[in-house]
Amino acid sequence: MLQDMTILSSVLSLLGGDGGRLLEIVLLSLGVTITAVVCAGFVGLPLGAGLALVRFPGRTVVIVLVNTLMGFPPVVAGLVIFLLLSRSGPLGGLGLLFTPKAMMIAQFVLVLPIVVALSRQTIEDLWTEYRDHLTSLGAGRLGSIPTLLWDARFSLVTTMLAGLGRASAEVGAILIVGGNIAGFTRTMTTSIALETSKGDLPLAMALGVILMSLTLAINGLAYGISRVGARFSGKS
């Protein structure tokens, strides 16, 4: 049986005594996840908006496909990227396997469909609302994309947080492409998996508590910022 006190003391000793290594792991986790999510935002938001506004043959198929990819099993994504990046794979020459960059690519691939699919829906709804107004101003569909993205920014924060949630909770893909190398590709989630396998359940649980606290902090921060922003722009 796990005792609450054991977990609590594990959390405290992690934060205190062995803080240096914990900090390294936390920073790597945050670095990989946030980079992946920001990149997915830069690529995914315009793509989602484009998919919402531009009509082309096969558009419905693409939308269904993107929606399906939201459920792309991480372990499959990890395996595909592993085979691509392996020395004997097509991108092996880059030497990226078992590096933080490989983990970033894996999370980017997992987060991108979420950003595209959810922002497509948001922008499409907004477009039905603003269509006449924007058209009367002489903006074409493509020309409207920046305006719509900017106007939907507070809803899109939730989209990005959904992506962040996917990335920060993920272990299957980064374990395969990162290799869980101590001090180099060991993240919060792979540490939890490792400590569980070593039978140190209080330490694993303590890491879990810290990871969830971090996620809570990031979500709280994002919510606060978007509320303040909404108030200043009179959209609350």
Which residues contact other proteins (rule: CB under 8 A)? 31, 35, 38-39, 42, 86-89, 92, 95, 97-101, 150, 179-182, 184, 194, 196-201
HSE-CB at 220 with a 13 A cutoff on CA atoms is 6
The count of other CB atoms within 10 Å of the CB of residue 7 is: 18
Q: Is the Cβ of residue 33 or residue 70 nearer to other proteins in the bound state?
A: 33
State in angstroms the smallest separation of the CB of 95 from other proteins: 8
Q: Is the Cβ of residue 139 or residue 201 nearer to other proteins in the bound state?
A: 201
State in angstroms the smallest separation of the CB of 125 from other proteins: 21
Rounded CA-CA distance 157/207 in Å is: 27
Furthest CA-CA distance within the chain: 67
State in angstroms the smallest separation of the CB of 185 from other proteins: 8
Rounded CA-CA distance 134/143 in Å is: 9
The answer for residues whose C-beta is within 8 angstroms of residue 35's C-beta and 6 or more apart is: 104
Rounded CA-CA distance 72/215 in Å is: 22
Q: Is the Cβ of residue 63 or residue 201 nearer to other proteins in the bound state?
A: 201
Residue 198, Cβ density class (10 Å: 0-12 exposed, 13-18 middle, ≥19 buried):
exposed
Structural Rg of the chain based on CA atoms = 21
Residue 72 three-state SS: coil
Q: Is the Cβ of residue 124 or residue 200 nearer to other proteins in the bound state?
A: 200
State in angstroms the smallest separation of the CB of 110 from other proteins: 18
State in angstroms the smallest separation of the CB of 146 from other proteins: 9
Q: Is the Cβ of residue 38 or residue 230 nearer to other proteins in the bound state?
A: 38
